[in-house]
Every structure is written in C-alpha cells, then in structure tokens.
Amino acid sequence: MTLTMKRVSKIFKDGPNEFKALNDVSLEVNSGEFVAVIGPSGSGKSTFLSTAGALLSPTGGSIEIDGQHVADLPDKQKTRLRLEKIGFVFQTANLIPYLNVTDQLHVINVMAKNKKRKGYEADLLQHFGLEHRTGNFPNELSGGERQRVAIARALVNEPDLILADEPTASLDSQRGREVVELIAAEIHERGKAGIMVTHDERVLDVCDRVLMIKDGQLVETETIR
Ligand SMILES: Nc1ncnc2c1ncn2[C@@H]1O[C@H](COP(=O)(O)OP(=O)(O)OP(=O)(O)O)[C@@H](O)[C@H]1O
Ligand SMILES: [Mg+2]
C-alpha cells in the first residue's frame, strides 16, 4: 500500500473570502510506516487527514491510493474505497449510542458487505481487551474503552491505510499512549500504512517519521524526536 499526495491544496471559500487550509502538501507513506503530523490548532491537520482519506476533495494536486487517483472518483466509488481500504480513528470515539460493542464493529462489515472473516470481530475485541464488554453500550464504557472500540472498528474492514485524528485527545497520558501503541503495532506487525495527526508530543517516539504542519504547509522535522 502506498499513499501518494502531490502538491495538494485545499481552499475553503466563504462568500468573497478564500482561505488556503492546505498549501502544496506532498507526502508519500508506505506499508509498515507510521507517520505523525503535528501542528498547532488551526494549522490544517484535520483538513489534511480528511483529504488524504478521500473525505474531502482537494482543490488542487493529486492523491493516489495504491496507484488509484482518488480525487477523480465518483462519490460512490470513493465511499467504497474508504470502506475497503481505509480505517479512520477520530478524536472522540463517535460510537453509535444504541449499538453494543460487538455491533459497533459488525455494522461496518454489514455496510462493506464483508463476509470474509466472520470470527475477526470477536478476535479484534479480544485483542483490544474488550471481550468482557462485548454486550455493553457506549455509555457503559470508560473513555479508554470507547476509544479502543473505535480503533477496533477502524480495523474491522482490514484497511491498508489507518488515519487517526488526535486519537489521544480524550484520554489521560497513560491511556493515550496505550492507544497509540496499539495503532503502531497494527501498522508494524500487519504492514499497514498509517498517519496520525496530534498535538501530543509525548507519543511521537512510537512513530517512524514526524512531520510538522504550519499554515497549511508540511515540513519534515528531525529535531523533535
Ligand atoms: N469547512 C470549512 N470551511 C471554512 N474553513 C474551514 C473549514 N474547515 C476548516 N477550516 C479552516 O481551515 C483551517 C484548518 O482547520 P483544521 O480543522 O484542519 O485545523 P486543525 O489543525 O485540525 O486544528 P485543531 O488542532 O484545532 O483540530 C482553520 O483555520 C479552519 O477554520
Ligand atoms: Mg483538527
């Protein structure tokens, strides 16, 4: 799996005003690589990640996932690509209130019409230490448990690319670190590609590369680690 972004820009228009949230962003991420992107609030981190994951269309530049040009795809195919190849983890778990833990994962496989690995949902929940919580609803879980369900849900479609937007934001530092280590293990052991945007500099040692985004521009950093 390779994600290639070339000179990607994103301009938000608000009446007569234009705001350049991404300015000529280029990046390549390969299987087995976990890239962190840090930057202050408003620097374009979420815009960058949503664009990389085909949730937002870029204004300019190109994005390829495994050689497929994402921006040109019709919406239906973009949705399919996301369901088949991409796992998103957001800042808050965004679980569905009326589904128990098992069904949070199952609903993704139903949407993706994925029948290939029936036992995988249970395996993932066990892997993330949630086997005793499978019948519980989100309001019965701790913040760390909810976020682990969200990560398991992001992985249930066996994505090649994992995109995480501040996955530690709602957690204390120990829980936050555990969550990032789980994501890193998934990337390194199963040869997935991953990008995490974060404010949290304490978890950067788990990542392979650290980039910084500032005013919509991406720069490689070596001084941070
Ligand atoms: N839909 C939109 N319309 C107009 N402006 C937007 C839109 N989405 C984001 N922006 C602007 O683009 C800039 C980058 O936003 P973005 O959400 O990517 O920042 P961020 O780095 O993720 O910030 P945070 O750390 O606070 O989550 C901000 O100035 C924001 O106001
Ligand atoms: Mg953000």
The stretch 203-207 carries a mean pLDDT of: 94
The residue whose CB lies within 8 Å of the most ligand 1 atoms, and thus the one to mutate among 43, 195, 198, is 43
Split at pLDDT 50, 70, 90, the class of 222 is: low
Nearest Cα neighbor of 216 from 26, 55, 56, 86 is 26
Q: Which ligand is nearest to the CA of 90?
A: 2
Percentage of the chain exceeding pLDDT 90: 76
- Ligand 2 centroid–CA 42 distance in Å is 7
Q: Using CA atoms, how far apart are residues 30 and 12, in angstroms rounded to an integer?
A: 29
Question: Does ligand 1 have an atom closer than 6 angstroms to the CB of 22?
Answer: no
**Ligand 1 atom with the shortest distance to the CA of 213:** 21
Quote the domain boundaries for residue 59.
Answer: 2-221
pLDDT tens-digit series, residues 24-37: 999 999 999 999 99
Check residue 72 and give its pLDDT. 84
Percentage of the chain exceeding pLDDT 70: 96
Q: Which ligand is nearest to the CA of 10?
A: 1
Check residue 225 and give its pLDDT. 47
Residue of minimum CA distance from atom 14 in ligand 1: 44
Q: Using CA atoms, how far apart are residues 61 and 23, in angstroms rounded to an integer?
A: 10
- State the CATH number of the domain containing residue 28: 3.40.50.300
Residue of minimum CA distance from atom 11 in ligand 1: 21
Q: Using CA atoms, how far apart are residues 175 and 171, in angstroms rounded to an integer?
A: 6
Split at pLDDT 50, 70, 90, the class of 71 is: confident
The stretch 70-83 carries a mean pLDDT of: 92
Residue of minimum CA distance from atom 7 in ligand 1: 12
pLDDT tens-digit series, residues 106-157: 998 888 877 766 688 999 999 889 999 999 999 999 988 999 999 999 999 9
Looking at the structure of the chain, the number of domains it has is 1
- Ligand 1 centroid–CA 218 distance in Å is 15
